[in-house]
Amino acid sequence: MAGIELLYFIVMLAVFVIFLVLLKVPAGISLMVSAIVGALIAGFGIPIRHLVEGTFGFIDPIMTIVAAMIFMVTLEKSGALDACSVAIVEKLHKYPTLLLIAFMIIIMFPAMITGSAIASIISSGALVAPIMIKIGIPRNKTAAIIALGAVLGMIAPPINIPVMLICDVVDMPYIGFTLPLLLLTLPVAIFSVLFIGRKYIKKIDVDELKEIVNFKIKEKVNLLVYLPILLLAVLIILQNSIPRYMVQLGLPLTFLLAAVSAFFCGKKFNVIFALKEGVKKSLNAMVLLMGVGMFVQIITLNGVRGFFAINALSLLNSLVYIGMALAVPVFAGISAYCFASVLGGPFVMALLGTSNPIIVASEISLLTCIGEFLPPTAMSATFSCSLCEEKSYKNILKAAWIPLIVIFVYAMIFVIFVSKVWN
């Protein structure tokens, strides 16, 4: 029956929302349950082979996230993150504008290398939140800045999981995204932090921050503590800029090499413990990607994926843009990863021949930022709310709504005009 695939998708989506929102089941598990229901209602029973294949469909991003999280743990244990915060406060406390921009970059960094906004919130976000509150930024504004920085870091290079998922759908290599993603994220990140926080910072007394900033870290480490970060940046840049002459290590091995170097720099720490903690912190993202993979496998099996692809290809370009503007933020409010796998690919394919697919995929991923602030999950906003001890998630949304509108408008302008001339 024509359109039965749409019914399958609606049922699967309803099951996912019920388990996630009402039953408080983790997103990854909810996606797995939804996938099983999708197979059952389509008459495939419980297709074990497809479920297993789907579970390991995104093994590369999973390995990257695990390795990146191990790297983040080594930075924490070696004192590199503390050293960065101290150096920034000492050097920039007289320049509030530059200080806020530096804080935003620190917030973004963990998400940039792990692809997880939550990784930024629980690591660098937790590091800078007390400082920002102490220097006069209200709690809801601080939470909004951290949430925005985390989600924009998730979209910034080198690791953008929604784009990776889109690339997998359209069979396109994850190459050439660095510059477009930087152009999409850095301007709105700088605007967001200055728009929200700049008016609250007048004068910063470093002595008042001694209770919450670990200034003693300077006595325990030297400049070598920054070597892992430098090594990571150099390896990534070389592999992307001169691929013909540079051995392609891959992101998982690159992160692990940088993590190994951290053991020889800064404070000493237990390597085995760091490995275990990194893997533990990766579990939620791993399960989520496994759930996404299973979900995508089943919607391919029951025809839902093909249904969306065919219908997207039949739309006029103007309607595709309208569809992206409406669908991406709304569905990303459920799951950015799930949306990228289900509808991100069809949108990219619908604009092939008229728009650069790299720009389109990048723009779609930026729009998913908005979904991180919207129900039913509002995951990043909720985590930031808890971190800053803000009573209401609505107060964070109220503080962030203008930057979110700017992100939306900027993304649409970028995809409509830049994608046609980008080579």
Q: Kindly report which listed range (75-84, 90-99, 278-287, 325-334) carries the lowest average pLDDT score.
A: 325-334
Q: Rounded to an integer, what is the distance from CA 294 to the centroid of its chain?
A: 20
Query: Is the residue at 159 inside a domain?
Result: yes
Query: Is the residue at 374 inside a domain?
Result: yes
Are the C-beta atoms of residues 28 and 290 closer than 8 Å to each other? Answer: yes
Q: Please give the pLDDT value at position 376.
A: 64
Query: Is the residue at 256 inside a domain?
Result: yes
Domain that holds residue 128: 4-418
Query: Is the residue at 236 inside a domain?
Result: yes
Share of the chain above pLDDT 70, in %: 92
Residue-by-residue DSSP string for 57-125: TTHHHHHHHHHHHHHHHHHHHHTHHHHHHHHHHHHHTT-HHHHHHHHHHHHHHHHHHHS-HHHHIIIII
Query: Residue 236: which of 169, 174, 289, 183 has the closest Cα?
Result: 174
Per-residue pLDDT reduced to its tens digit, 117-166: 877 887 788 778 888 888 889 999 999 999 999 999 999 988 888 898 88
Over range 7-13, report the average pLDDT. Answer: 88
Q: Please give the pLDDT value at position 377.
A: 63
Query: Is the residue at 321 inside a domain?
Result: yes
**Per-residue b or e along 28-66, where b marks 16 or more CB atoms closer than 10 Å to that residue's CB:** bbbbbbbbbbbbeebeeeebeebbeebbebbeebbbbbb
Query: Is the residue at 22 inside a domain?
Result: yes
At 322, the pLDDT band (50, 70, 90 cuts) reads: confident
Tokens of 349: 């394919």
CA distances from 108 to 67, 98, 123, 147, 316 (A): 18, 15, 10, 10, 36
At 28, the pLDDT band (50, 70, 90 cuts) reads: confident
Q: Report the helix count and the strand count for the chain, using DSSP H and E.
A: 21, 0
Cα(340)–Cα(420) distance, rounded to whole angstroms? 22
Q: Please give the pLDDT value at position 33.
A: 93
Element of type H or E holding 309: helix 304-313
At 2, the pLDDT band (50, 70, 90 cuts) reads: low
Element of type H or E holding 323: helix 317-332
Hunting for tokens 């007390």 — which residue is that?
A: 130
At 403, the pLDDT band (50, 70, 90 cuts) reads: very high
Share of the chain above pLDDT 90, in %: 15
Q: Can you give the pTM of this predicted structure?
A: 0.77
Q: Does 328 score more than 90 pLDDT?
A: no
How many domains would you assign to the chain? 1
Q: Please give the pLDDT value at position 212.
A: 66
Q: Does 331 score more than 80 pLDDT?
A: no
Query: Is the residue at 312 inside a domain?
Result: yes
- Please classify residue 207 by burial: count the beta carbons closer than 10 Å to its beta carbon, then call 0-12 exposed, 13-18 middle and 19+ buried: exposed
Residue 217 CB coordination number (10 Å): 20
Q: Does 402 score more than 90 pLDDT?
A: yes
Query: Is the residue at 423 inside a domain?
Result: no
Q: Please give the pLDDT value at position 180.
A: 92
- pLDDT, the chain, mean: 83
Q: Kindly report which listed range (124-128, 150-154, 194-198, 219-223) carries the lowest average pLDDT score.
A: 219-223
Cα radius of gyration rounded to whole Å, the chain:
21
